Structure 1
Amino acid sequence: SLYVGNLSYDCTWQDLKDAFKRYGHVSHAEVCETAGGKSTGFGIVLFSDGKSATKAMDSMDGVEFQGRQLSVRWDRSPDKLQSSERGGGSKR
């Protein structure tokens, strides 16, 4: 999975998925939120295969998206994500 930082606070999980789906099948996209439901400015994108994730990371890191320069890297803690607690995820 990829960590996507410096997201616009208006970015939705669907915006995130749409931005990354050109690189392969996105099995999960999530914009992480505070307990109060406000965006934390980062998200997670999970691809069906590592090749697509690598291509997306190489292509999207440093790109301007919704007025902000993205920071894209490998997610270091995918086991800590629990979309049911964060409320911003979808497995579409």
Structure 2
Amino acid sequence: MSGSRIYIGRLSSRAEKRDVEKFFKEYGDIREINLKNGFGFVEFKDYRDAEDAVKESNDREFFGHRIIVEIAKGERRRGRYNDRRGGDYDRRNNNAPQRTDNRIYVENIAQSVSWQDLKDFFRRAGQVTFADAHKRREGEGIVEFSSYDDVKEALHKLDGYELKGQKITLRDVCLNNLSNYY
């Protein structure tokens, strides 16, 4: 049923399926739990339980992290996995992460910020296809989106926001301007 899946971001790598189940079962019957590296999904049998879980558990502490909990966007994907550098790939086809020209350059990121933190943070603006942190130089990162509208939304909504205690600066860039980044 649409709207019955929740996304959990900033999920501790120590959290196991049984921990997530225990944390969310108070909101209703769980159909499925799918955990990845740093994030996961919980599907409830009823969309109202998912809405309650979002309302009550977003920004709550879980295994030492303040988790992001929101209704999952898009369709459930089967056979897709997340690589260690922030891009999705399909193991059946062995595709590389989806890279796009729809990029923003992120400056002044805290040393503790990982590619997953960037990906989680920028999902507020749209569909993130790739993220990396501190590769070119410490304190800098890059985030790629599926559309240029998502880039504009990120620039509008998130420039100047604080991420892990530091105010970040965003810059719209194209592939040619960052040929030295990768």
Q: TM-score range by the shorter chain?
A: 0.7 to 0.9
- Length-normalised TM-score, structure 1: 0.77
Q: Using the TM superposition, give the Cα deviation of residue 66 of structure 1 relative to its aligned residue in structure 2, in angstroms.
A: 0.5
Larger RCO of the pair (alpha carbons < 8 Å, separation 6+): 1
Instruction: Show structure 1 runs of 5+ residues with no match.
Output: 83-92
The counterpart of 2:179, out of the listed 76, 79, 82, is 79
- The residue number in structure 2 matching 1:54 is 152
CA distance in 2 between counterparts of 1:47 and 1:59 reads 15
- Length-normalised TM-score, structure 2: 0.40
Q: Which has the larger radius of gyration?
A: 2
Give the counterpart letter for 1:79 in structure 2: S
Question: Is residue 22 of structure 1 aligned with residue 137 of structure 2?
Answer: no
User: RMSD of the alignment, in Å?
Assistant: 1.5
The structure carrying a bigger helix percent of its residues is: 1
CA distance in 2 between counterparts of 1:15 and 1:57 reads 17
Give the counterpart letter for 2:157 in structure 1: S
**Structure 1 residue runs of 4+, over 4 Å off?**
none
Q: What percent of counterpart residues are identical?
A: 33
Instruction: Show structure 2 runs of 5+ residues with no match.
Output: 1-102
Q: Deviations over 1:15-45 (max 9, x none)?
A: 00000012111111010336xxxx6101000
In the alignment, is the contact (CA less than 8 A) between 1:3 and 1:73 conserved in 2?
yes
